[in-house]
Each structure stands twice: as C-alpha cells, then as structure tokens.
Amino acid sequence: MFWRWLLPALWALSAEADFFQLDSISNVSTYYFNYFYCNIWEGDCQPNQDDATEQVPTRDLWAGFPQDYISLLHQWYCSLGQCCESGDCRISNNITGLARDLQTKLHGQHLAQSVVLKAIQGFINNPESNKPLTLSFHGWSGTGKNFVARMIADNLYRDGVKSECVRLFIAPFHFPHARLVDTYKGQLRDATRDMVLRCPQTLFIFDEAEKLHPGLINAIKPYMDHYDNVDGVNYRRAIFLFLSNIGGATINDVALDFWHSGQNREDIGMEDLEHRLRAETIESQGGFAQSELISGNLIDFFVPFLPLEYRHVKLCARDAYVARGLETDEATLDEVAKAMVYVPKEERLFSAQGCKSIPQRINFFLP
C-alpha cells in the first residue's frame, strides 16, 4: 500500500541530508510516522500537541524537498482528511448552510432567524472581535432554542454537536447539587480553559440556564469579557449560548397583544421584546439572572423565541414525516396539529408544547 513505500522514502530522504535540511526532514518523518502509528495502525499512543514532533509540518519545513515530492505527499495526506483550506478541519463555518437551515427548518421564528444569522455571521467574519460572542435564547419549551443551537453546531463544525469543539452543559444534570457549587466552579473553569486551548473557536451551550446555581457562571465571567487573554489564554473566538425559559410569558403576552390588535406576528420587532427580556432576566431568580454577565452587559443579544401557532405545528409535523422518509397529506398533518394542546384557554392560539413532541406523536398516526 501507499504508506509501505512512503515511510521508507521519508527515511531514505533523511539519509540524504546533505542535499536537504536534516532537521526539517527529521521532523516531517517523525510527524508522519507518529500519524501512521496512531491513526492508521492504531498504535497505543497519546499525541502531545506541545511536542514539536506532533505538530503538522509548516511550509518552512518543506523548503529543501523537491516540489514534485511535496505535491505528491500533500495530496495523499489531504486525502486522509487531515488538512483543509480553513486550517482547522474541525471547523467548517458554513454560513450559507446556517442561513438555509434557519430559513427552511425553523418555523415561526423570524426574529431568531434574523438575529442569530447576523450575529454568527458578523462574529465569524470579524477575526479581531474584542470579546467572545454571547447569546441568550429565551422562550417556552418546544419553540426551537435547542434546535437552533444544534443548527449552529452542525453548520460551524464538521462533526456538529459531536465535535470536540462543542461542549454542552445541562444545568440540572452537570451541576445538580448546590452544596458542591465551589467544586463546580473549578470544574467549569478548567473545562472551559481546556476546550479553548484545544479549539479556540469552541461553542459552549448552557441548557436550562435559569437553573444554574448562583455564582457558578461568575466563575467563567472573565472568559466572556473584553480581555485579550486570561492567564495566557485567548477566549475571544469562543461562542457562548445560554438557553432558558426566562421571559417566556412576556414573549407570549406580546405575541397575543399583536394578535388581538390584528397585527401580524411577523411585525413584532426586537425593539418590542429585547429590553423586556433583559429586564425580566434581571428580576428573575436563579444563578444566571443574578450573574455578572447580566449586570456587566456581556450578553450581546437576548433572542426571543415566539410561541408557535397551529400552522407552525403543521410545518413541524411535515418535517417530521420527511425526516423519516414517510409520505403524508394535509388531512394527516391537520390531525397531528389538532391533537396538541393550545393556550390561552379562550383563544387556543399557541401550542403549549411548541413542536417538541411532534416527532414522537406522529407514530400514533402511522398506518
């Protein structure tokens, strides 16, 4: 196979160091041997990224090699998926894909579609950002907060939420005991630092943020502030998402008021909601609301997720059938949508569960 002659070639070239740069060839040979041993032959090794022999060879190392040899080796190495134009193959930053997903897969959320896309796109396109991007998603359960967080991960990272550049924290699961909050602080600081060291553009997702213990988020507040670095680590390329139900009732009240006044929900603007969300977050209970992120104005956008109406539930049902490769019709979609609970009691306008249970509910309507 290809590498059976490639490694001997590298060693042979090393022996001809009078014609090339001995140190460069040695480093390159060692790097590719380590790569083969760890990844192709699955040897028992733990690569140390601080070791120069484990770093991807730079252009300077190739100065003494024949151009044909460099091209051949580069093509072969890239065919293994170990290099790409971005410089970090874990990161895809597919803004076009994110825009498409937000437009076609997220229903009834014109504000989230616009704000999230502009915020992410602006941040990605500005390598000199003076702080990490911090977004706070607000709304009822089932309105799409987790769904959008997953979209962001899927489009910014090759492996989506499974990427080593993505870290999800679920407040009641990862930090369940108030008496251990000091321990959690240290663990959270260490985890955040380690993630950013491995991947500067790390995506941190804090789900059920309203259930975080007081003081916990303050432990990593410096990492989200306007600092060039904290203890030698630069956090300004990281992205922090906080997902909570805080402000859900306020968002619903605004949407209901627009409906009562005969206005389209699409006419609801950020100016109608963002200041209310910020005020309600400050006044609410819990560690997230009482954190220095809020008082220090470190949240870049408070993103409202509107309650979903009957027509949006039908679209979610359609997507659920399509995702499973199943055909359906309008009558069946109506049946699925009608089976949901709607509030308020008089108007029966908004789905109480959003679209959260739709993928499971369609099983009931299958032949």
Q: What is the pLDDT at residue 166?
A: 98
pLDDT band per the 50, 70, 90 thresholds, residue 348: very high
Choose the weakest-confidence range: 50-54, 128-132, 183-187, 246-250. Answer: 50-54
Provide DSSP, 141-177.
Answer: TTSSHHHHHHHHHHHHBTTGGGSTTEEEEEHHHHS--
Q: In whole angstroms, how far apart are CA 131 and each of 127, 128, 238, 242? A: 10, 9, 8, 16
First-residue to last-residue Cα distance in the chain: 52
Of 117 and 28, which is predicted with more confidence? 117
What residues contact 47, with CB distance under 8 A and at least 6 apart?
Answer: 34, 38, 54
pLDDT at 68: 65
CA 291 – CA 282 distance, rounded (Å) = 9
Alpha carbon distance 127, 9 (integer Å): 40
Q: Tens digits of per-residue pLDDT, 196-229?
A: 999 999 999 999 999 999 899 999 999 999 999 9
With left for phi above 0 and alpha for psi between -120 and 50, is residue 227 left, alpha or beta? Answer: beta
**Cβ contact 243:144 at 8 Å:** no
* Phi and psi based region of residue 169 (left: phi greater than 0; alpha: psi -120 to 50; beta: remaining): beta
Most confidently modeled of 2-6, 20-24, 199-203?
A: 199-203
